[in-house]
């Protein structure tokens, strides 16, 4: 009976050792699986971050291009408007010279001053528009 108890104890010890070995292998496999899941999740997150970064950069480039286009358009419109006003004022001055002769130089000078003031105010408005556009782009 004592021998039988010793055999049973030794087989119980072997059983416990085998169960512990099996449990250690299971845990090691679980560690390997979790490491792989972590690596996969990290790769997925890095790809998402790269995609978001590239979308953000392309959006900024589009905004810059749009801003440049608007500023160029405003400059062109302003230049055209100034040129039209200059031509209109010069035509008006020429007509006044022709109709009034050389005696109304004061009127001509007044019109020149009016033209210069109009041109100056248009330039000021244009600069304000450009500043507003630049400020809105900077936001």
Per-residue pLDDT tens over the stretch 103-133? 567 777 788 888 888 888 888 888 888 888 7
- Work out how many domains the chain is built from and give that number: 1
pLDDT over 90 at 52, yes or no: yes
What's the pLDDT score for residue 132?
A: 81
Which position has the higher pLDDT, 100 or 47? 47
- Residue numbers of the domain that contains 53: 2-138
The secondary structure of residue 104, as a DSSP letter, is G
Report which of 112, 115, 119 is spatially closest to residue 79, judged by C-alpha positions: 119
Residue 47 confidence class, pLDDT cut points 50, 70, 90: very high
pTM of the model: 0.47
Tell me the pLDDT tens digit for each residue of 68-77.
999 999 899 9
Helix 105-138 to helix 2-100 angle (10° resolution) is 180
- Torsion of Cα atoms, 83 then 84 then 85 then 86, to 10°: 50
What's the pLDDT score for residue 12?
A: 74
**DSSP states of 114-136 as a string?**
HHHHHHHHHHHHHHHHHHHHHHH
First to last CA, the chain: 91
């Amino acid at each position: 009976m004592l021998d039988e108890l010793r055999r049973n104890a030794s087989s119980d010890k072997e059983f416990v050792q085998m169960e512990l070995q099996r449990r250690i292998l299971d845990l090691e496999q679980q560690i390997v699986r979790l490491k792989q899941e972590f690596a996969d999740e990290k790769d997925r997150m890095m790809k998402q971050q790269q995609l978001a970064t590239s979308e953000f950069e392309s959006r900024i480039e589009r905004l810059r291009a749009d801003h440049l286009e608007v500023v160029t358009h405003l400059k062109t419109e302003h230049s055209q408007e100034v040129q039209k006003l200059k031509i209109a004022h010069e035509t008006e001055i020429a007509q006044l010279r022709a109709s009034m002769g050389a005696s109304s130089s004061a009127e001509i000078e007044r019109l020149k001053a009016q033209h210069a003031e109009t041109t100056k105010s248009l330039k000021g408005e244009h600069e304000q528009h450009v500043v507003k556009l630049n400020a809105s782009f900077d936001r």
